[in-house]
Amino acid sequence: MATPPPQHGAGPYQPYGPRQGGPHSPYGVPPQAVPYGHGHQPMPQAPYGCRVCGAQPAVRATVRGHQGMLVLMRFLRQEGPFCRDCGLATYRKMSADTLWQGWWGPLSLFITPVTVLMNLAARSRFVGLAPPAGHILPSLSPGKPLWRRPPALVFLAAAVLIALAPPLLVLLGLTAGDDEPSAGPAVGTCVRDADRLRNERLVPEACGSPLAAYLVTKERGTGDADCAAGDLISVPEKWSEGARSLCLTPVPH
């Protein structure tokens, strides 16, 4: 009996089927056409969406936070990819929390501003994205801008006060000048003794007041005579150098 000749491609080591100009395609899927002018088909970019909502476009970025706890501290981070809305929401929330939670420690005073500045790099990547599309879950709401939130406003006010404190202190020192020394009570006015001990803390008082204790009759050493008999002599300690010595006549009640 004659044996039929083997068919083309048949054999124990070669799969049976028509051969084409490209590599063999399993499962009957025809090979993809190669664009004109390219020697091979380019590898498509691996698609990925936002880690929160699945929308595209998304970008890889890391948002950081810091918490100071006197002796201890915590370093927080959220890694992308994020779409524009979810990225801005994460940036604003973690930065705002850092601005009021991050100062409570010696080292945290320096770490907190560095953390907020590092987050600006992530923010710049988020704002450059197109509006998100193709959501799987709802996107996060970005909310108010960071500098319109209460923690940021408190931080900004404190920073302004700290920056303005030195020049304000210098200005107050220049405008205040030296205090003018007290000239003491005038002759003919009534006074009372604030310390009731040495007649050295005389406080002006209306002559009709029951608190008025003395009438200033003259400056000692002026005129032809010294203080009258029964008068008290006072040299208040807070008067200027060469303070006047006054003659005080008790006011009868």
Average pLDDT along the chain, 253 residues, taken 10 residues at a time: 50 46 43 43 53 93 92 91 95 92 87 93 94 92 88 75 78 65 73 66 81 82 69 65 72 79
> Tokens 């000749």 sit at which residue?
5
| Residues forming beta bridges with residue 182, ordered by sequence position | 239
Find the distance separating the first CA and the last CA of the chain, reported in whole Å: 161
pLDDT of residue 222: 60
pLDDT, position 63: 96
| Local structure of 150: helix, strand or coil | helix
d(CA 96, CA 86): 15
* pTM of the complete model: 0.49
| Strand, coil or helix: 169 | helix
Collect contacts of 145-151 with beta carbons under 8 A, ≥24 apart. Answer: 145/92, 146/91, 146/92, 146/95, 146/96, 149/92, 149/96, 151/96, 151/97, 151/99, 151/100
Residue whose tokens read 């939130």: 149
Q: Give dist(CA 74, CA 102) in Å, integer.
A: 9
Burial 61-80 (b: 16+ CB within 10 A, else e): bebbbbbbeeeebeeeebeb
Question: Which two tokens mark 217?
Answer: 């009759």
* Angle between helical axes of 150-176 and 84-101 (0-180°, round to 10): 40
Q: Which long-range contacts (CB under 8 A, 24 or more apart) does 18-26 make?
A: none
Q: Which two tokens stand for residue 209?
A: 């007041």
